Amino acid sequence: MTRPDTLCSVTEVAPDAQELTEIRRHLHAHPELSFQEAQTSALVAERLKSWGYEVTTGIGGHGVVGTLRVGDGKRSIGIRADMDALPIHEQTGLPYASRHEGTMHACGHDGHTTTLLGAAQHIARTRRFNGTVNLIFQPAEEAGSNSGAEQMIAAGLFDRFPCDAIFGLHNHPGVPTGTFGFRSGPFMAACDTVYITIHGKSGHAARPHMTVDPVVVASALVMALQTVVSRNVDPTQTAVVTVGSIHAGEATNVIPEDAKLGLSVRSFSVEVRQLLEARIRQLVQSHAEAYGASATVEYIRGYPVLINSEHETELARQVAEELVGADHVIAPFPMVAGSEDFAFYLQERPGCFLRIGNGANTPMLHNAHYDYADENLVIGAAFWTRLVERFLGQNLD
């Protein structure tokens, strides 16, 4: 059994703070969109090679895996960081703000990547484990569908790089920096996208009786859709149906032929997810028919519900408490209605996806004023290192 006092501490990684900050800010200034992460991937691969990792590139696009083996241990661990940015015009005014117009690290993937690089460096330096470490740098988490996780799994990720368990983290604005959050079971929502087209009959605005007005149908449908959750889903369950867009017509004196709605649908269980799709499809068709219109529904399944396994989540929580103290650990952390393609990994292997606070009063994710908290780099790197040492522990007496 590995003694706690021999494991990695924040103090031990602290000398790397300046180097990690420089890497993170370089990545922030040079963001790359999903499936375009060539420069980020090259930087990651070069660093991993310089620290003695066996590096494999081009997995599911620009994915990189760094592998390090120590001793004769048979167990293996995977740790994942995402690398892609968002199509957002940065408005932070920072000296290291994005140099790529209309592209920005507004979700902190620059910080996630740098944190894992910090851990990679320290793990290679100390080598206090017995087994295999696979560090997974993933492209295209923000893709929404056919994402980096799906692509890497399809490329044989777990066959080529066996992992007994896999772990990942995401920063969380609204929570103090250096504070970790854990929740076993359903943690982040499944997210589906729905496009609805109402087909009516166009005509002159002065003669509505000679038309089938899709605007009226769509407007009433927006309200009717609010009952999908309130009157179909068990009140003890959680679900969200949001109509995020509605488009119809161009002229004020013309009743258009069609009206289009765009929905975001979120849920935390397979059963509720299926129920929402069934009820939305039924409601749209019957509602349109009641007005003399017709409708088509394009229902796109996105990321599944993210379900953390109990044993791995408990281990990660213990590691965080050892590292920063119980006062800086929230467990259980509230469920998060956002979605995350790490869920695909957890369908293949047990593991835990956790949160780390990005500051109590900081801009939210996907905001043009967002920035990753550099003070988390050392803390996160120490956490990953200590988790590896615990997961692949050996007797260090």
Q: By three-state DSSP, how is residue 376 classified?
A: helix
Q: State the Cα–Cα distance between residues 347 and 365, nearest whole angstrom.
A: 25
Give the pLDDT band (50/70/90) at residue 144. confident
Q: Per-residue pLDDT tens for 152-162?
A: 999 999 999 99
**Residues in the chain, overall count:** 397
Count, in order, helices (H) and strands (E) of the chain: 12, 16
β-pairing, 254-255 with 203-204? Answer: antiparallel
Q: Where are the beta strands (DSSP E) in the chain?
A: 54-59, 63-70, 76-82, 131-138, 165-172, 180-181, 185-188, 190-199, 203-204, 239-247, 254-255, 258-267, 294-301, 306-308, 329-330, 351-357
pLDDT at 2: 52
Confidence (pTM): 0.93
- Sheet-wide strand order for 131-138: 54-59, 63-70, 131-138, 76-82, 165-172, 351-357, 180-181, 329-330
| pLDDT over threshold 50, residue 396 | no
Q: What is the pLDDT of residue 5?
A: 67
Q: Which CATH class is domain 190-301?
A: alpha beta
Would you state the structure tokens that stand for residue 371, as one six-digit string? 């920035």
Residues 41 and 257: their CA atoms lie apart, in Å, by 47
Average pLDDT over residues 212-223: 97
The predicted pLDDT at position 223 comes to: 96
Q: Band the pLDDT of 383: cuts 50, 70, 90.
A: very high
pLDDT tens digits, one per residue of 267-321: 999 999 999 999 999 999 999 999 999 999 999 999 999 999 999 999 999 999 9
- Alpha carbons within 13 A on the beta-carbon side of 173: 15
Kindly calculate the radius of gyration of the chain based on its CA atoms and give it in whole angstroms.
Answer: 24
Higher pLDDT, 1 or 263: 263
Confidence label for 189 from pLDDT (cuts 50, 70 and 90): very high
Which amino acid is present at 207? R
Mean pLDDT over residues 75-87, rounded? 98
Q: Where are the alpha helices (DSSP H) in 157-253?
A: 157-160, 214-225, 227-230
Residue 156, sorted as left (phi over 0), alpha (psi -120 to 50) or beta, turns out to be left
**What is the tens place of the pLDDT at every residue in 219-248?**
999 999 999 999 999 999 999 999 999 999
**Residue-range domain boundaries for the chain:** 4-186+306-391, 190-301
The CATH number of domain 4-186+306-391, selected from 3.40.630.10, 3.30.750.24, 3.50.50.60, 3.30.70.20: 3.40.630.10
Other Cβ atoms less than 10 A from the Cβ of 214: the count is: 28
Give the closest residue to 162 by CA, choosing from 237, 87, 74, 233.
74
pLDDT number for residue 6: 83
Three-state DSSP state, 272? helix
